[in-house]
Amino acid sequence: MNFFSRHPMLVLAIGILGVSASAILVKYSQAPSVITAVYRLGWTVLLMLPMTFGNREHRAELASISGKLLALCAASGVFLAFHFVTWFESLNMTSVASSTTIVCTEVIWVALGYKFFLHGNISKSAVACIVITLMGSVIIAFSDYSSSGSDNILGDLVSLCAAILVAAYTLIGRVARKHASTTVYTFIVYVFCFATLLVSALVTGTPLWGYGQNELVIGLLLSVLSTLMGHSIFSWCLKYISPAFVSAAKLCEPVFAAVAAYFLFREAPVPLQVLGGAIIIGGVILYSRVEARESHEA
């Protein structure tokens, strides 16, 4: 057993710091949101090429992939692409604290999607957690509107759309991952995500170049820290730590991101924002516990 397998909590902490950097890096970007996303996914696909095609089993799996699985991966990539664009755009319209907290409601939308599209069941306890979480989102929106007007509340709504889009990506992945390895699934999804972003930039007439080297560096850091060292680490941790704990640990992201935003951008959350954020995080933690308990009983 290697060092990381013996200390999965340390690895999880690294993953939390990695994803927490995402909002800060996007705030530093001066390029359009779609371009920031293009650079992030472009670097991700490039960095994954050796680990995907350098492995014989992965090459064989790619060569034998079915049309249905490919279609699922394509759909997942499209939803992920629009998630990136909408979330990055929300960070240009509202505070880091509001945007990162609202996008963490993903797990709630996954639960609703599981109920209505995958014919799953949601208990009364889970419904109560969903209502609590949505109340927190409403409080944040009210706080932003009261203090900054319609621009911030529009950013909150865009962040909410980003949460719903990434929930769709997660739900499709739940189905597709039954028939593909993690590496092959994520690689195909990232390729389609990158292609979708490229097409979006071309359709909207957004130039792909001319934003300076800083934007390329930001894209690389987003790829390494937030995608490969962030989300990939969470997937790895599921082998050693319970899914409920990993889900709850992800909620440290808005806390760390908000603290960093305060020192870097002087974005100080107002009391109602803190209250709404605490309610959202509490609701998601409660839901994670309810889900873990019901999974154990089943």
pLDDT tens for each residue of 123-161: 888 888 888 888 888 888 778 766 665 668 889 899 999
Is the confidence at residue 243, as pLDDT, over 70? no
Domain that holds residue 219: 7-297
CA distances from 17 to 5, 10, 168, 247 (A): 19, 11, 25, 15
Question: Is 1 contained in some domain?
Answer: no
Residue 2 forms part of a structural domain: no
29: left (phi over 0), alpha (psi -120 to 50) or beta: beta
- Of residues 226 and 2, the one with the higher pLDDT is 226
Domain-embedded: residue 65: yes
Q: Is residue 202 part of a domain?
A: yes
Q: What is the pLDDT of residue 207?
A: 96
Rounded to whole angstroms, the Cα distance separating 17 from 231 reads 11
Could you tell me the pTM of the whole model?
Answer: 0.87
Provide the domain count of the chain: 1
Question: What is the pLDDT, as a whole number, of residue 148?
Answer: 62
Residue 259 domain-assigned (yes or no): yes
